[in-house]
């Protein structure tokens, strides 16, 4: 029995919904600068993402240091303090955007007939697997930048590549972890997502 005017099965509708949830988690985790947290010299809590940060020091005109209690991105891409973080920004950003595009395509199939055939659904599932891998690669490269001076200042002066010192991972990083796990689940569900076989599609 068809679901609305959909080309999706009941499993497919769940796949589309889970795809949207995964995309939201990945995009939120990517954008929000709470990948890890530490404390600056005056016990001010500081957090970092790959291209944004919260509560950061800035030099005044008189040579003093002022703490900016807000979140913001680095002024330019090259201001990101580590090449590893620059690679992560590109990798995770592309992955998050791709997961959102797949989710919108899947949602369109919930309301419009003949949008997603079995072959297309499986192809989208493969894209979700590749997207998850791209995000994992970005997140794996990210800790290589923990040895920069900016990170060491908030992590007890002892942080290094793949060692956070006194800092700790924060909730944005875990959001992406959940999003990636959901993408793999979506890829499996995509095998049973569509009710339309390729040869039955009519032009």
Length of the chain, please? 203
Q: Give the pLDDT of residue 63.
A: 63
How far CA 53 is from CA of 27, 30, 113, 170, in Å, comes to: 16, 12, 44, 13
Predicted pLDDT at 3: 41
The pLDDT, as a whole number, for residue 64 is: 64
pLDDT value of position 2: 44
| Residue in this structure with the two tokens 């944005």, named with its chain if needed | 172
User: How many whole angstroms separate alpha carbon 58 and alpha carbon 73?
Assistant: 14
Task: Give pLDDT, residue 199.
Answer: 54
pLDDT (tens digit, 0 to 9) for every residue of the chain, 203 residues total? 344 457 788 999 999 999 999 999 999 999 999 999 999 876 789 999 999 999 877 767 676 667 788 999 999 999 999 999 999 999 999 999 999 999 999 998 887 777 788 899 999 999 999 999 999 999 999 999 999 999 999 999 999 999 999 999 999 999 999 999 999 999 999 999 887 765 544 44
At residue 115, the pLDDT reads 74
The answer to whether 120 and 170 are in contact (CB under 8 A) is no
Determine the pLDDT at residue 170.
97
pTM of the model: 0.89
């Amino acid at each position: 029995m068809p679901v609305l005017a959909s080309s999706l099965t009941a499993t497919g509708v769940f796949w589309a919904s889970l795809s949207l949830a995964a995309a939201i988690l990945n995009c939120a985790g990517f954008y929000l600068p709470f990948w890890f947290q530490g404390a600056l010299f005056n016990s001010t809590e500081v957090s970092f993402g790959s291209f944004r940060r919260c509560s950061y020091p800035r030099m005044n005109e008189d040579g003093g240091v002022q703490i900016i209690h807000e979140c913001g991105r680095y002024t330019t891409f090259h201001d990101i303090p580590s090449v590893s973080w620059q690679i992560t920004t590109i990798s995770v950003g592309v992955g998050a955007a791709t997961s959102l595009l797949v989710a919108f395509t899947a949602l369109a199939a919930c309301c419009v007939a003949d949008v997603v055939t079995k072959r297309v659904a499986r192809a989208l599932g493969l894209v979700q697997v590749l997207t998850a891998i791209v995000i994992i690669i970005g997140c794996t490269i990210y800790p290589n930048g923990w040895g920069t001076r900016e990170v060491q200042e908030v992590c007890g002066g002892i942080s290094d590549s793949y060692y956070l010192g006194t800092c700790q991972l924060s909730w944005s990083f875990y959001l992406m972890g959940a999003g990636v796990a959901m993408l793999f689940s979506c890829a499996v569900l995509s095998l049973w997502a569509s009710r339309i076989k390729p040869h039955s599609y009519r032009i």
